[in-house]
Structure 1
Amino acid sequence: MGCAGSSQTKSEGTGKKKIRKPRAWKHPQPITRSQLIQLREEFWDTAPHYGGRQEIWDALRAAAEADPTLVQAILENAGIVVHNADMTVCFDETGARYELPKYVLSEPKNLIPYT
């Protein structure tokens, strides 16, 4: 029946999203690992200034840097709702929005390997 199908779809939509790495991406120019680390540090140092709660930013950083098997538990314990499965958009329990750039979540395709 239409109603049963709608209810089922709705309940599935409120379930947990399987967290995944962002799709492959490229930095505007080739970047070294140390430059990538510098970009990430700058983001995490300035992110709380864009709003939201410090403890949520801390949990998002922990999840971004964690072993994939722990990410879901970190997010759940912090009360973070993942809007995009790649964690680029998340919300806290109060509805505050947190946007994460792909460079804090994964490596670019044009990362320069160590020589």
Structure 2
Amino acid sequence: MGCAGSSQTKADGSIKKIRKPKSWKHPQPITRSQLTQLRDEFWDTAPHYGGRKEIWDALRAAAEAELSLAQAIVDSAGVIVQNADLTICYDERGAKYELPNYVLSEPTNLIRDSS
């Protein structure tokens, strides 16, 4: 919930809308199961980077949701979005939260798991 002085609020008074992250490419082709494992490892360790667990939980929910729901999640959690793609956010106490691209979108070189 950004106030007029918050970095989440633009000059015209509207809240910064989140958007899909830019395309990215993993250093080598990666399967969906490998991507899921990377994501799970990140979210399991994220609270150890600092910040509050409830904000990390809200960011995870937003990262896994459609854009309109993600916007509602970050707004209701009081997350201040610095980068519209959610890669850099802050909580109301000023703690910084950095999200890697691989938790926000799929790589361009995602390959099918072999059966």
Q: How many residues are aligned here?
A: 105
**C-alpha RMSD of matched pairs (Å):** 1.3
Match of 2:70 in 1: 71
Greater Rg by CA = 1
Aligned mates of 1:16, 1:32 — CA distance in 2: 36
Match of 1:32 in 2: 31
Per-residue deviation, 1:114: 4.7
Per-residue deviation, 1:71: 0.8
Aligned mates of 1:56, 1:30 — CA distance in 2: 31
Output the amino acid matched with 1:72: Q
Aligned mates of 1:87, 1:15 — CA distance in 2: 17
Larger proportion of helix: 1
Task: Give deviations 1:36-95, integer Å, cap 9, x for gaps.
Answer: 000000000000001000000000000000122201110011000100010000000001
Segments of 4+ moved more than 2 angstroms: none
The percent of aligned pairs where both chains have the same amino acid is 71
Match of 2:3 in 1: none
Gaps of 5+ in 2: 1-9
TM-score, structure 2 length as denominator?
0.86
Match of 2:50 in 1: 51
Aligned mates of 2:41, 2:82 — CA distance in 1: 24
Aligned mates of 2:82, 2:11 — CA distance in 1: 15
Gaps of 5+ in 1: 1-9
CA contact (8 A) 2:80 2:91 kept: yes
Aligned mates of 1:44, 1:101 — CA distance in 2: 11
Match of 1:11 in 2: 11
Match of 1:96 in 2: 95
TM-score, structure 1 length as denominator?
0.86
